[in-house]
Amino acid sequence: MASKRVLTGATVTLAVVALGIGLFRFFPERMTKNGARVAVPRTSQAAPAPSAPTPPRVPVRASREAKVEQVFRAPWGGRKGELGRKAADESSPEGPMAFAVDGSGRSYVLDQVNGRVAVFESGKEPRSIPVPADTFQDVALTKSGGLALLDRLKDGTVAFTDASGRVSHEVAIAGEGIQDAGDVTGLFQRDDGTWLEVSHANLVKVADADGAPLDDRVIVQGRFGGTDRVLRASRSGDRAAFVAERNARGVSPLSKVSFDLPLRELLELDVDPKGNVVLAASLLEEGPAPNFDVLDAREVVVLLDPRGAELARVELPASVGPEESFRRIRVGADGAIYHLGFEESGAIMRRIWL
């Protein structure tokens, strides 16, 4: 009698489990009249949506005495002094895509979500320069005091504005040296004109010093590192990056920079006024299968002397959240390294002296 009761109980349990499996497999999708399947709104999901794993917070750590100071902290939002981020359903979340720094240390943050460039200057109220689209992804300052804005995905152009943000003209990106505007990975405004980097490899000069498009584009195999040097960086295995230099004597390896976590992606390569090389990277360590959770994530800035010897490095917390950015690290004319990080509450600009 007792065994019979146990068997019946087990059977009922089994039935309930089977019923549950059926419900779970059946409801996540449904068919429309024409046979197309549509996503069920999240509110109707049977199971609660788990959150993406959040990597542990990493404090700023430096290999030698480094001065890290906060330039500003801007809450997320659309008001003055705030920066916009967008994280909509079924589309790419994004924060401020890039920024530029002028010789006075003013930060021009491309706050494209709010349709503006937010200008932060120490001791002053933030101001903004309106920009005509929310699809710009990089910004540079022109010698005339205006902006060069990179729209590589939507229109495939570089837009030049005056100081008020009014667009004076645009230069098409695709052309000699750039097959697909989407391959552009950086906008560089130099005294001699406007350069675009393609797939972190070549630089292509697309406009002259006045922003006029060039019929015959100049192509340089690397990224400028001063007046007579061209640098290139690339991943080297899982935990290292390779920096090479091209100069009048040819190409020579400069340095192999190792990391204690797997290298996820390089973030910046530049040269400071002293000729030191700045290399920034994003590091990420995953857990084991099947989930491959993020165990650790950091951003690292490494300073190399002109010959490639490492002078210092600083570890910064990885940005929090899924927001996409394009260029969040710049080397200022003052020699400082500017880093824009994303936090839960807003964006933070750090100035780092190594």
Partner 1 sequence: MNRAGTWLIVAVSAAWALAALPARAAPPAMTRDEIITRGKGVVKFSYWWGHGRWSTTSTAHGSCSGSCPSCSHSGSYGADCSGFVAKAWQVPGTIAVTTDAHPYSTYHFYNQSNYWGTVSRSSAKKADAFVYNSGGKGHIFLYESGDPWGWVTAIECKGCSYGCVRGGRSISSSYKAIRRDNIQDFPDKDGDGVADSKDNCPSNKNTSQTDTDKDGKGDTCDTDDDGDGVLDDKDNCPTTKNATQIDTDKDKKGDACDTDDDGDGVLDDKDNCDTAANKSQLDTDKDKKGDACDDDDDGDGVLDDEDNCALVKNADQADADKDGKGDACEADDDSDGLPDATDNCPLAANADQSDVDEDGKGDACDDDDDGDGTPDATDLCPELANASQSDLDQDGVGDACDDDIDGDGSPNVRDNCPELSDPNLEDADEDGVGDPCDDDIDGDGVFNTVDNCPSVANPDQKQGSGDKGLACSDGDTGDTGAGDTSDESGGCSLGAAPAGRDGLARLGLLAGLALAVRRRRR
Q: Is 219 among the residues that bind partner 1 (CB under 8 A)?
A: no
321 binds partner 1 (CB under 8 A): yes
Q: Which of 324, 333, 335, 345 binds partner 1 (CB under 8 A)?
A: 324
Q: For partner 1, which stretch binds (CB under 8 A), given 101-109, 270-278, 283-291, 307-315?
A: 283-291
Token pair 């040097």: residue: 229
**Segment 44 to 103, residues that bind partner 1, using CB under 8 A:** 45, 47, 49-52, 55, 86-93
Question: Per DSSP, what are the bridge partners of residue 39?
Answer: 29
Closer by beta carbon to partner 1, 61 or else 86 = 86
The b/e string for 113-141 (b: 16+ C-beta within 10 A; e otherwise) is: bbbbbbbbbeeeebebbebeebebbbbbb
Q: Which residues pair with 92 in a beta bridge?
A: none
Q: In what order do the strands lie in the sheet with 193-198?
A: 184-190, 193-198, 202-207, 213-220
The window from 62-70, 211-219, 321-329, 332-340 that contacts partner 1 (CB under 8 A) reads 321-329
From 72-80, 100-108, 161-169, 181-189, span contacting partner 1 (CB under 8 A) = 181-189
3-state SS, residue 42: helix
Residue number with CB closer to partner 1 (8 or 252):
8
d(CA 230, CA 38): 51
- Nearer Cβ to partner 1, position 242 or 353? 242
User: Of the listed pieces 5-13, 62-70, 208-216, 303-311, which binds partner 1 according to CB under 8 A?
Assistant: 5-13
Closer of 86 and 127 to partner 1 (Cβ): 86
The whole-angstrom separation of Cα 247 and Cα 191 is 20
Contacting partner 1 (CB under 8 A), which of 323, 331, 347, 354? 323
Q: Which is nearer to partner 1, 172 or 201 (CB)?
A: 201
- Our finding on whether 218 is near partner 1 (CB under 8 A) is no
Name residue 33's amino acid.
Answer: K
Does the protein bind partner 1 through residue 265 (CB under 8 A)? yes
Smallest gap, in angstroms, from Cβ of residue 150 to partner 1? 11
User: How far, in Å, CA of 129 to CA of 146, rounded?
Assistant: 10
Q: Which helix (H) or strand (E) holds 170?
A: strand 167-172
354 alpha-carbon distance from chain centroid: 22
CB of 77 to partner 1, least distance (A): 15
Residue 264 binds to partner 1 (criterion: CB under 8 A): yes
Residue 154 to residue 97: CA distance in whole angstroms: 15
Number of other CB atoms surrounding residue 299 within 10 Å: 23
Q: Strand pairing partners for 252?
A: 245
Window of 98-106, 247-255, 280-288, 343-351 that interacts with partner 1 by CB under 8 A:
280-288
Residue 339 CB, shortest distance to partner 1, in Å, is: 14
User: Interaction with partner 1 in 138-167: which residues (CB under 8 A)?
Assistant: 152-154
**For the purposes of burial, counting CB atoms within 10 Å of the CB of 192, is it exposed (0-12), middle (13-18) or buried (19 or more)?**
exposed
Q: Which of these ranges, 38-46, 140-148, 157-165, 209-217, lies near partner 1 under the rule CB under 8 A?
A: 38-46
Q: Is 2 in the site for partner 1 (CB under 8 A)?
A: no
Per-residue binder mask for partner 1 (CB under 8 A), 98-137, x = binder: -----------------------------------xxx--
Instruction: Decide: is 315 part of the binding site for partner 1 (CB under 8 A).
Output: no
- 56: tokens are 């542990």
Q: Is residue 292 involved in binding partner 1 (CB under 8 A)?
A: yes
CB 96 within 8 A of CB 347: yes
**Which tokens belong to 120?**
């932060």
Residue 145, phi-psi category: left (phi > 0), alpha (psi -120 to 50), beta (remainder): left
